Structure 1
Amino acid sequence: MDQDITAPQSRRFVLVAAILASSMGFIDGSVIAIAIPAIRADLGATLAEAQWVSNGYLLFLSALMLLGGAAGDRFGLRTVFGLGIVAFVGASIVCAVSPTPLVLVVARAIQGSGAAVMVPGSLAIIAKAYPREERGRAIGIWAAASSLTSIAGPIIGGFLLTALGDWSWRLVFAVNLPLGMSALALLWFKVAPDRPEEGRRLDVIGAVLATLALMFIAYGLTGDGSESVPPLSHTMAWCGAGLVLAVAFVLWEWRSNAPMLPLRLFANVGFSGANGLTFALYFALAGIMFFLPMTMIGGWGETPATVSLSLLPLGIILTALSSFSGKWADQLGPGPLITAGSLIVALAFAGLGVIAPLHSVWLAVVPCIGLLGLGMGLVVSPLSTAVMTSVEDGDTGVASGVNNAVARVAGLVAVAMLGAIVATVFERGLGEAAELPIFFGMRTDGLTEGQEALRMGATDAAFAAVCYITAGLSLVSAAVAWLTLERKGLFAREPIGSPGPQ
């Protein structure tokens, strides 16, 4: 085990370890939405507690991701990456055996903290191990494996949940043990530690302020799970405190000598526009992907296997289109492609709202999911291009990290904010059945035909509300892309504030 991380003999072990670690994150991220109905049924979790299962993870991942990336440089990539895997796997085991929703939420928070180190470390350790002329091929292998796990994970998880019952959601987390231990074995026994950057400073105060700000806002919007919709006074007090902390975070980052969020980058309109549309579009995507499986499984009575298959076109079309859209972005600029993609995404979300009362998976949901894949396929690669070309070469790494963090913060806020809207619309839609113990996204036995009709109608109305809100945000993304990002050829217009040729 005395091979340096950059030695040719070590590189293949680094690559496999990075793929295994990334697979854990991608499987958890893609399967959890399908597993949420089973978690609620098995643990008796409320809608708000289900939101915290998602947001406990996203909160620490989004708030600590930039700090996690810097920690790898400061203390050594192999060491920090390995510690992230240990935290992620340990928390996954606690998730798998959780007896209550509270234990699961706490474990998910620890899992998110581990992921904040592990996720940026996956690409960073590949980039450090491989020379520049071989790096593209290695990252391509990593990306292909990541796409495969993202596509296969929900299908395998969906069929397991259908075949084994509600308890089998625990297997989604238990599978991380062999994956994580394999990655750790490769890192510890086949790869020597790399040299840390002793002078690198970590923005711990910024990380604490960002975490508390997001936590307070999420708690204000979601509550503690005891009520479907927290009182307005609760929301205003906690969200207000969160916003004060957010302002304190911005002021600290402005004055810090080593900020984890360099605010100077936002002086570029192209960079600001790319991150603004990222927030709006990924808010919309996270909202749909959280509430659609719950609607189909708990509301319509579909099996997890059916739901996982219905979502398959999204991953396939997105993966197939990404390489082409990246080339098209070089020719036309990212602006036109992201604008067109966002408009298609808006159409897909609006379509899901219109077809919700049909309860038709194959004739209604699947075509909309295919349309969503087409739209996102036109967005993902050009968005990376827009972020990278809007800053100077020396800032591309931190710019990419900021954009990833923005996307995850958007998901956190989406699940928290839309949950209150869903609960409100659902309860109003129940009408005379509102006094019964009926909850959004959960099957209820013993209802009369009329009560079941009210439950189904309320479910459709609540989900449609999510669809129309997210469609509107996707239109906002399209407008921001068109106005702020680079356009070439027939659409020629340089982005405002462009740093010029890279």
Structure 2
Amino acid sequence: MTEETEPTRLLAMGEPAGRRLLATTVLGSGLGFLDGTIANVALPHIGDDLHADLAGLQWVVNGYTLALASLILVGGSLGDRLGRKRVYGWGIAGFAVASALVALSPTIELLVLARVLQGVAAALLTPGSLAMLQASFRKEDRMRAVGAWTGTLGIATAAGPVVGGWLVGIDWRIAFWINPPIAAVVLWLLRSAPESRDQAASHRLDWWAVLLAPVSLAGVTWALTSWPDSGASPTTVGALAVGVLAGMTFVVVELRTRHPMVPPRLFASRDFSVINIVTLFVYAALTGALLFLAIFLQVSAGWTPLEAGAATVPISVLMFFLASRFGSLATRFGARPLMVCGAAVLTVGFAWLALAPDDPSYIGQILPGVLVMGLGLSILVAPLTGAVLAAVPDGQSGLASGVNNAVSRTAGLIAVAVLPLLTGLSGTAYRDGIAVGHSYRASMWWCAGLVLAGGLLAAVGLRRTSATTADVN
């Protein structure tokens, strides 16, 4: 049992303080979403400007994701210990500085390093947003708040491809300069946000886990990224072995240490375990699909960055209007039926996009798949997010959010590393429209299969009445 320090008065969705808190968390989380969409659209231009090969471009994405995935649990734990508002503010400020460094990078190596720093900052801010909502709103308003958070983030996700695509068409560096002013607004709004922390949380940090998590992910990711060009070389195999060994050691350490970064007891909840596996499948598919779609539309179809970015805007629009509604339905009927339905719809969306030719019509061949994707995500994401928080005590909401975010980011990390390997794309082939087209279609079918597997697992693995409001304290 945990003792949670909450605001003096829990907030309601309709009051000004509740709306300000929601705006603060949405804008801050939007930084990461916005940056991710901009990075995807900008990759071909970054490659041309900095003379990078495919592996270098993969690390532009994976350097950020690696730091975020391996340290996000630290961010969630620090928020529970030191105060979620405080740690969230640290992450926002750090993200602004790192974004400026990205924009100033003269080489691909320095750009990747700056992206790693962005990922470190994002690891501090990402779990805090949902944890603040969970700790600050009344229980009857939490799922609505999570749904509103999910839907309103569609604004940032919609703005990213359009604004980012337009700016990338001028100069890709300009696209990263939009983060510092947004961060300044978030820090100003954050002043009035309530603080919360878990009084029972240990103040000892699990340093072995902090070290082993990034070593494991980095080793595996390096091996998978290098494999298409170097094959089973001693370096590639050695990196894979180090990554796997570090991962196994991480599990052993967490089982034996007194103050683990990832308490094994969290996974005693069947729903928590199943939802995180579903998250792994869904977010691997989503990350891979959006990345390959952005590259395909520019390289194979010959679209401008603005056109390629704008192609996915309907996803964000649908999520803005529908995610909160499906979050409310999850409160009434449970998460399982909506997660299964959402996964099925999302599978259809990926399959539709897989049928696109190298010179697709937007209205006839891209837009229908994008609309189906948006509907599937609207049905799926809010119930998934709310259910994973509800599966643990309120005092561990930051940690639960961190675990789930770590899983989703790790899924994206693996997808970006593995899909080019599975589809035969390597070296400078990302500049060849025919090669990219073949790789794109194969990737979409892989993504469809992953989401289908996630939906089937949710159907058989979740309890029939999976809670969406925490009932364990």
Q: Residues 265-324 of structure 1: CA distance to partner in whole angstroms, max 9, x if unpaired?
A: 223332222111110111111111111101111222111121122101111222322223
Identify the residue that residue 484 of structure 1 maps to in structure 2.
Answer: 461
Q: Residues 56-106 of structure 1: CA distance to partner in whole angstroms, max 9, x if unpaired?
A: 111111111111122234334454333322321221111001111111100
Q: 1:121 to 1:383 in 2, by over 3 A?
A: closer
Identify the residue that residue 75 of structure 1 maps to in structure 2.
Answer: 82
Query: Unpaired runs of 5+ in structure 1?
Result: 428-437, 443-454, 489-493
* Aligned positions of 1:43-122 closer than 5 A: 43-122=50-129
Please tell me whether the aligned partners of residues 72 and 81 of structure 1 are also in contact (alpha carbons under 8 angstroms): yes
User: Which SS does the other structure have where 2:357 is aligned?
Assistant: helix
Identify the residue that residue 415 of structure 2 maps to in structure 1.
Answer: 414
* Aligned positions of 1:304-453 closer than 5 A: 304-392=305-393, 395-422=396-423, 424=424, 426=425, 439-442=428-431
Letter in 2 for 1:212: V
Identify the residue that residue 449 of structure 1 maps to in structure 2.
Answer: none
217, 222, 235: which is aligned to 1:219?
Answer: 222
Greater Cα offset, 89-98 or 115-124: 115-124
Task: Give the C-alpha shift of residue 186 in structure 1.
Answer: 5.7
Q: 1:256 to 1:356 in 2, by over 3 A?
A: farther
Task: Give the C-alpha shift of residue 143 in structure 1.
Answer: 5.2
* Aligned positions of 1:14-29 closer than 5 A: 18-29=25-36
Q: Distance in 2 between matches of 1:93 and 1:356?
A: 38
Between 1 and 2, higher relative CO (CA 8 Å, sep ≥ 6) is seen in: 2
Q: Distance in 2 between matches of 1:324 and 1:45?
A: 44
Q: 1:13 to 1:337 in 2, by over 3 A?
A: closer
Please tell me whether the aligned partners of residues 280 and 473 of structure 1 are also in contact (alpha carbons under 8 angstroms): yes
Task: Give the C-alpha shift of residue 220 in structure 1.
Answer: 0.7
Q: Distance in 1 between matches of 2:379 and 2:143?
A: 21
Q: 1:123 to 1:377 in 2, by over 3 A?
A: closer
Letter in 2 for 1:359: P
Identity %: 36
Q: Distance in 2 between matches of 1:284 and 1:195?
A: 34
Q: 1:331 to 1:105 in 2, by over 3 A?
A: same
User: Which SS does the other structure have where 1:175 is aligned?
Assistant: helix
Q: Residues 467-500 of structure 1: CA distance to partner in whole angstroms, max 9, x if unpaired?
A: 1111111121121011111336xxxxx89xxx98
Identify the residue that residue 173 of structure 1 maps to in structure 2.
Answer: 176
Q: Distance in 2 between matches of 1:272 and 1:283?
A: 17
* Aligned positions of 1:98-247 closer than 5 A: 98-125=105-132, 145-162=152-169, 164=170, 168-184=171-187, 200-223=203-226, 229-233=229-233, 234-247=235-248
Letter in 2 for 1:326: G
User: Which SS does the other structure have where 2:356 is aligned?
Assistant: helix
Please tell me whether the aligned partners of residues 47 and 419 of structure 1 are also in contact (alpha carbons under 8 angstroms): no
Q: Residues 212-233 of structure 1: CA distance to partner in whole angstroms, max 9, x if unpaired?
A: 100111111113xxx8523223
Identify the residue that residue 445 of structure 2 maps to in structure 1.
Answer: 468
Query: Unpaired runs of 5+ in structure 2?
Result: 1-6
Q: Distance in 2 between matches of 1:52 and 1:131?
A: 41
Q: CA RMSD in A?
A: 3.3
Q: 1:382 to 1:131 in 2, by over 3 A?
A: closer
Q: Distance in 2 between matches of 1:97 and 1:205?
A: 34
Q: 1:19 to 1:376 in 2, by over 3 A?
A: closer
Q: Distance in 2 between matches of 1:240 and 1:32?
A: 30
Letter in 2 for 1:334: A
Task: Give the C-alpha shift of residue 399 in structure 1.
Answer: 2.6
Q: 1:134 to 1:348 in 2, by over 3 A?
A: closer
Task: Give the C-alpha shift of residue 196 in structure 1.
Answer: 9.4
Greater Cα offset, 348-357 or 468-477: 348-357
Q: Distance in 2 between matches of 1:467 and 1:144?
A: 25
Letter in 1 for 2:457: V
Between Structure 1 and Structure 2, whose CA radius of gyration is higher?
Answer: 1
User: Which SS does the other structure have where 1:379 is aligned?
Assistant: helix
Please tell me whether the aligned partners of residues 65 and 119 of structure 2 are also in contact (alpha carbons under 8 angstroms): yes
Task: Give the C-alpha shift of residue 329 in structure 1.
Answer: 2.9
Q: 1:408 to 1:173 in 2, by over 3 A?
A: same
